[in-house]
Chains A and B, each alone.
Chain A
Amino acid sequence: MDRLPKGALSPFPRGQGCYSRPTMELATTPLRMPADWRDFFALTKPRVMTLVIFTGLCGLLAAPGEIHPILAFTAILCIAVGAGGAAALNQWWEADIDAGMKRTARRPLPSGRMDRDSARDFGFALSGGAVVVMGLANGWLAASILAVSIFYYSWIYTVWLKPRTPQNIVIGGGAGAFPPLIGWVAVTGHITLMPILLFLIIFMWTPPHFWALALFVKTDYAKVGIPMLPVVAGEKVTRRHILVYTLALLPVTVAPWWLGGTGAIYGVAAVVLGLGFLALATRVGLRTSVPDDRMKPEKQLFGYSILYLFALFGALVVDRLAAMQGWI
Chain B
Amino acid sequence: MDADRPVDKVLGARKPPEAPETAPAQAPETPETFDLEAFRARQKARNRALGLLLGALVVLFFAITIAKLGVQASHRS
Question: Which A residues are closer than 8 A to B by beta carbons?
Answer: 1-4, 8, 11, 26-27, 30-34, 36-39, 42, 68-71, 74, 77, 95-96, 99-100, 102, 105-106, 109-113, 115-116, 133, 136-137
Contact of A36 among B45, B66, B70 (CB under 8 A): B45
Residues of B within 8 A of A (CB): 1-2, 5, 7, 11, 13-15, 17, 20-21, 23-39, 42-43, 45-46, 49, 60, 63-64, 66-68, 70-71
Instruction: Choose from B21, B36, B45, B63 the contact partner of A2 (Cβ within 8 Å).
Output: B36
Q: Which residues of A contact B14 (CB under 8 A)?
A: 111, 113
Chain B: minimal CB distance from A26 (Å): 7
| Residue from the set B1, B11, B15, B30 with the largest chain A CB neighbour count within 10 Å | B1
Least distance between A297 CB and chain B CB atoms (Å): 27
Picked from B26, B67, B68, the residue with its CB within 8 Å of the CB of A112 is B26
Docked CA distance A11–B47 (Å): 14
Is A37 a contact partner of B45 (Cβ separation < 8 A)?
yes
CB-nearest residue of chain B to A26: B31
Contact partners of A3 in chain B: CB under 8 A: 31-32, 34, 36
When chains A and B are docked, how far (Å) is the Cα of A153 from the Cα of B41?
35
Q: Return B28 CB to nearest CB of chain A, in Å.
A: 4
A8 / chain B contacts, CB cutoff of 8 Å: 36
Q: A33-B39, A71-B64, A111-B14 are in contact. Are A116 and B25 (CB under 8 A)?
A: yes
Contacts of B68 in A (CB 8 A): 71, 137
Are the C-beta atoms of B46 and A37 separated by less than 8 Å?
yes
User: 23 A-B residue contacts at CB 8 Å?
Assistant: A2-B37, A8-B36, A11-B43, A31-B39, A32-B28, A33-B34, A36-B7, A36-B45, A36-B46, A37-B45, A38-B2, A68-B67, A71-B64, A74-B60, A99-B24, A102-B20, A105-B23, A109-B26, A111-B15, A111-B20, A111-B23, A112-B24, A137-B67
Inter-chain contacts of A71 with B (CB < 8 A): 64, 67-68, 71
Q: Which residue of A lies closest to B45 (CB)?
A: A37
Q: Contact check, B1 vs A42: say whether CB atoms are below 8 A apart.
A: yes
Give complex CA distance A138, B64 in Å: 10
Which B residues lie within 8 Å of A109 (CB)? 25-26
Most buried by A among B23, B28, B43, B70: B23
CA distance A101 to B23 in the complex (A): 11
* Contact A4-B31, Cβ < 8 Å, known A68-B70, A99-B23, A111-B15: yes
A208 to B20, CA, bound (A): 29
Contact of A33 among B5, B13, B24, B67 (CB under 8 A): B13
Q: Which of B17, B35, B38, B70 has the most CB of A within 10 A?
A: B35
Chain B residues contacting A96 (CB-CB under 8 Å) are 25
A10, chain B: closest CB distance, angstroms: 10
